[in-house]
Structure 1
Amino acid sequence: MRIVSVLDHSPQQGGGASLVNIEVMLNHSELFRAECKRLIMETDKACKRMQDNDNKQLDQRVRDIQFLKKELELKLEEITLEIDVLIALHNRVVKALEASKEPLRVTILCLEERMKRSPSERLHDEVDIELMREREVIEGVASLLQHVVEQITEQIRLNRSAKYHLEQDLKEKFDAQCIDNSCAIMTTHSINNLHGLKNKNTASPSLTLTPKQWESMSEINIAKAEHQKTNSMSLRALVESVLGQTAADMQKQIQATTTAFQLNIQEIRTAKSQMEDKMPKVLLEITSQQRIREDLQLAVTENEHFLSLAQARLALRRQRPGKEQCHDPAQSQLLAEVQQITAHISKLREEVAQSEEEQRALVRCQLKLQESIDTKASSLYIDEVICTQHREPIVIHNF
């Protein structure tokens, strides 16, 4: 609207015309003021309406952020708890791995000690077989537990990575919520207080994400955390099963080895006892052989006396007068007696020699028996004292 100025009319016009122009100008001015007031009211209403819409949108945005924050916080709590549980499980597996070292050391010690037995006793017996199996089982368990430790360590790393992204997302959501809350309560009177914040705004340029993209980024973090939690729970179940099975396998094998030791110890003790029972009999037989040999030697001496007597009689009878030296029955008897006694002495001497041989054989038997007893005693000491005492503290419980 254009207001006609008084200057638009020439001074020659009459005063009536000037009044008309003034009236027109006043009307225009009044209309202009009315239009300005209307414009002011409309812009004020528009601004208030836009502010109300802003507040509604900001409130909705804050609610959206709060919803996602709750989802993120819940998932963060779950993954944090899962990390703590997994760390505790990791410590259990490490302790189980450490606990397997002592049984393995004892098993190797038993194998080494049993190699110190005498060659005759160094047989690949049932105890050696069970000890070898025990070593294989324990080494297998240790290798498996070491692999499990590495798996748990990697899963903890993945869980912590998921936790880190959740924490970062939550931090950004918190900052965004604070900013949007500030925007929601901001008024024209409080805007001056934010001048200082404008200079501090160093955030990177907007990525111009759509709300769907913004939401999907948090959903991706939540899905990753859920995926890692699921993997972690599956791993925990597997590890619990492994711990129980490995403990059972070790306990079963250790018990089998202990049983083999007990049976072997009983066999050695029985064999040693039987040998010790034989020893007095052998010693008694050696003494008996000594006595019988003395009796044989005495019999030889007595028979030699009888032989000397018969020979003396024959020699004396040779001194008979020539015609008296007939081969009478007495002569025949004496000659036969000499032959018989000579045969007896020869036989007795053979028996003396045989007795000496028997006694030497018995002495060799005694020495061999004593050596066997000592060997059994040494084997018994190794199995019953050294090995058993070292194995007694080994008790495998569930890890």
Structure 2
Amino acid sequence: MTVQPNPVDRPAPLTGAIRRVLIVDDSRLQLRILNAILTRWGFEVLQAVSGVEALRIAAVSEPDLILSDWMMPQMTGLELCRRFRALKREGYGYFILLTSKSEKGEVAEGLDAGADDFLTKPVNAEELRARINAGERVVSMERQLSEKNREVSEAFARLKEVHEAIDKDLRQARTIQQSLIPERVKEIGTSRVSLFLQPCGHVGGDLVGMFNPGHERLGLYSIDVSGHGITSAMVTARVAGYLSSKFPDQNIALEKRFDRFYAMRDPVETARLLNQRLAADPGVEEYLTMAYVAGDLRTGRMRMVQAGHSQPLLLRAGGEVEFIGTGGLPIGLVDAVDHEQHVVTMRKGDRLLLYSDGFTEAVLRNGEMLGEEGLVQLFRDSVKVGEGPDLLADLYWRLTAEMRAADQLDDDVSAALLEFDVL
């Protein structure tokens, strides 16, 4: 390999991306010539007389640039390039093959082996300098990209840690929200109450519940807080405290009489008190819809208030269907609101279903929503095969079987079921 030295000294590299250069040639004379030129230009120069030696040096010192002759005994520059590319290293190493080969096929072979550039012999110092400058730009951009990738990787790792912490908190929040429904099924006299709750995410804005202050009296409710996620779940937690089954003295639907027992307030009064508490909270923009029933399980008389919630479905033992309620304003939307009370009498074998709009607004495979008629049909089918919590589970299964995306709910789904005088 013959090098034509350039008598004019050149300044040090502009970017400094290439500092350490490994020259590989079986001719020691050519090594001395290249070493003199590169040293004068300010590079740290390493030398190897064979490809095998070059690989050992490259594995330890990680040169920024390799200048290698193509034709060498034992290992050609082409094979050296392939093996160099296979080494594990932190940054990119630029590889220039020095050769007398200029045919397109041989150049393509060198590119396939991983070479970045070529210099034909005899090497001109000006051209060598230009090729190194080109390599400087490539290595500099690669290092900038690697640094950005490192920063992105570190940021992603931090985000992953944060996500895992949030996910852990959400799983715990889901457990806490599920605990808001301590009893999923309860038999009261000859009647049975069952509850079902399936959030569309970790936590949701739906809430169902019941309380039994004694003497076959029942409070049953279905609530849907506006929005989804953590904020809605926090509101449901507060409302669950207002309608607590464990602490009757905190339950706004109950009123203590004669320091001896708790009487059930009128549902309209219960809705008013709940609205008063939610509307008075500063900074809370969430509101909720609610269907609430105060029932006498001895007579079957059910007093009900519907505050913007889905109309409760009454399925008579004989198969007749009634939707109860006329709408009404949600709870917490305005400071003062009066709701209408509805009264129905249940008879032996009747079933009353309170449910969220996650049922009726579920999108089916045909692109349409289930709607009230679809819910009635699913409910009738489920009544034929199950009772209590099994009935609600079957109802949910039938719903998801009909949905367009059965594995992804768009809204929370919840239901409260009263089976009257069935035991």
TM-score normalized by the length of structure 2: 0.25
Specify the structure having the higher radius of gyration (Cα): 1
Indicate the structure with greater helix content: 1
TM-score normalized by the length of structure 1: 0.26
Indicate the structure with greater strand content: 2
